[in-house]
Amino acid sequence: MNKRATGAARGIAVAVPVALFAAVAGTGLHRQALLIAGVDVYWGAAAALLLLASLQLWLGAWSRSLLPTAVAGIGCYAAVGLLSAAGTGKQLIVADVPGNVWVYGSAGVTFVMLLWCRRYGRPPRG
C-alpha cells in the first residue's frame, strides 16, 4: 500500500468516530437555551455547530487533506438525519428552529470548513 492510500485510510478511520461524536454531542447540545427577559435564547445550536466546525478544522489540519473533513461532515449529517427521522415520539431532533438550525447548519458548516481547509492541502508558496 502506498503512503497516500495509507494516509487516506487513516484519515477516514479517524473521521468516522469524530463524526459520530459530533452528531451525538451536538444533538444533546442543540436544544440548550437561556431565558433572558422572558425570551428563550437557543445558544445550543450555535455551540453544536461550533463543535462540528472545530472538529472538522482539526481533521483538516491534522491530515493535510480534505477527505477526512468531508467524511466527518457527511457522517455527522447522516447521523443527525437518522436521529431526526425516528418515529413520532422517538425523535431526538424536532423540526423547530433549533432542530432545523442543527440539521441544516451542519451541512452549511461542512461546506464552509471544506473551503477553509482547502488551504492545508496546498504546498506553500515561494
Name the one residue in this structure whose C-alpha cell is 457522517. 75
Provide the whole-model pTM.
0.86
Residue 114's identity, in one-letter code, is: L
**Per-residue model confidence as pLDDT tens digits over 2-22:** 666 677 788 899 999 999 999
Read off the pLDDT band of 87 (50, 70, 90): low
DSSP secondary structure letters along 12-71: HHHHHHHHHHHHHHHHHHTT-EEEETTEEEE-HHHHHHHHHHHHHHHHHHHHTSSHHHHH
**Per-residue model confidence as pLDDT tens digits over 29-62:** 988 989 999 988 889 999 999 999 999 999 988 8
**Per-residue model confidence as pLDDT tens digits over 92-106:** 677 788 888 998 999
Residue 89's identity, in one-letter code, is: G
Residue 3 gets which letter from DSSP?
H
